Amino acid sequence: EVRLVETGGGLIQPGESLRLSCIVSGFSVNSYNMTWVRQAPGKGLERVSLFYNGAKTHNADSAKGRFIISWDDSKNTLYLQLSALRVEDTAVYFCARGRPPPGPGAFDVWGQGTMVTVSS
Amino acid sequence: EIVMTQSPATLSVSPGETATLSCRASQTIWRSVAWYQQKPGQTPRLLIYDASTRATGIPARFSGSGFGTEFTLTISSLQSDDFAIYYCQHYKDWPSYTFGQGTKVEIK
C-alpha cells in the first residue's frame, strides 16, 4: 500500500528548530519527486520545498536559508529541517508524492499532515 | 513567479446542479495545471492533471478544460460529498510551482 505518514510536529518557540519526517511505504522515496506543502490555519496551500530528479532540491522563497529538505534511502523517509522558526510558519505541513512517471507535475499521494505551532 | 488566481472565492450551488470553477494564470502555462479537492480537516486529493486528465478513481462528473492562461474545473450533478475547497496548481516553471488561493463550493 502506498502511504505517507508525517511526524515531528509540535509546539515550538520562535527562533527554534524542528525536524519533520515523512515515512514512505509502498514505493522508494528516491524514485519519485517529493514535496512539502504547508497550510496555515484557515488558509490555502503553500509550496515549501521539493526533492526532484533523484537528488535535486528546490525551496520556496519563504523557506530559503531556513528550511532544508533531505532524505534517507535506508529508512525510506523524507525530512524537512525547520530552523529559525517564525510565528508565521505555524501550519500543517504535508508531504506529497509527485505523480508518476517522475517529472514536472501534480502530486497524487498526500500524507495526513503534521501540525507545527510556533508561539512564545 | 507565476500567480494563479481562482474565482469565485465562494460558489453556492444546489445539489444536482453544475459548478464551474475558474483559474487564471498570470502567464501562459500551456496545459501544466492540476486541480485538487480538500474537505475540512482532510488531506488534498488530486482530481485533474495536465488540465483535463482525471486522476485514478476520480468520477467522470469532474472535468477539466483550458489552455494557456484560462482553466476551468466543472463538477456536474453535484453531490453532497463534493462540497469542499478546490485548488488549482501550475507546474509550468518546474521545479517551481504554485497553488491558487482556492474556491469554496458550498451548499446553496
Give the whole-number percent of chain B exceeding pLDDT 70. Answer: 100
Res B79 pLDDT > 80: yes
Q: What is chain B's mean pLDDT, rounded?
A: 97
Whether the per-residue pLDDT at A59 is higher than 70: the answer is: yes
Radius of gyration from C-alpha coordinates of chain A:
13
CB contacts, 8 Å: B99 with chain A: 37, 44-47
Alpha-carbon distance B37 to nearest alpha carbon in chain A (angstroms):
11
- For testing the chain A interface, which of B5, B39, B91 should be mutated: the one with the most A CBs within 10 Å? B91
Give the model's pLDDT for residue A104: 80
Mean pLDDT of chain A: 95
Interface test with B, best of A107, A109, A114 (most B CBs within 10 A): A107
The verdict on A58 touching B (C-beta cutoff 8 Å) is yes
Q: What is the mean pLDDT of residues B62-69?
A: 98
Percentage of residues of chain A with pLDDT beyond 90: 92
Average pLDDT of the residues in B21-31? 97
Q: Look at residue A102 in the predicted model and tell me its pLDDT.
A: 67
Residues of chain A with Cβ-Cβ distance to B32 below 8 Å are 104-105
Chain B nearest C-alpha distance from A17 (Å): 25
For residue A101, the model assigns a pLDDT of 74
**Predicted confidence (pLDDT) per residue in A69-119, tens digit:** 999 999 999 999 999 999 999 999 999 999 987 678 899 999 999 999 999
Of A106, A112, A113, the CB nearest to B46: A106
Minimal CA–CA distance to A80: which of A102, A109, A53, A113?
A: A113
Amino acid found at A96: A
The residue of A110, A112, A114 whose CB has the most chain B CBs within 10 angstroms, and thus the best one to mutate to test that interface, is: A110
What is residue B80's three-state secondary structure? helix
Q: In this model, does residue B44 exceed pLDDT 80?
A: yes
Least confident of A54-58, B5-9, B15-19, B62-66: A54-58
For residues A115, A116, B1, B3, the Cα torsion angle rounded to the nearest 10 degrees is: 40
Distance CA A112, CA A8 (A): 13
Among the partner residues B45, B50, B99, nearest to A45 by beta-carbon distance = B99
Determine, for residues B46 and A58 on separate chains, whether the beta-carbon distance falls below 8 Å: no
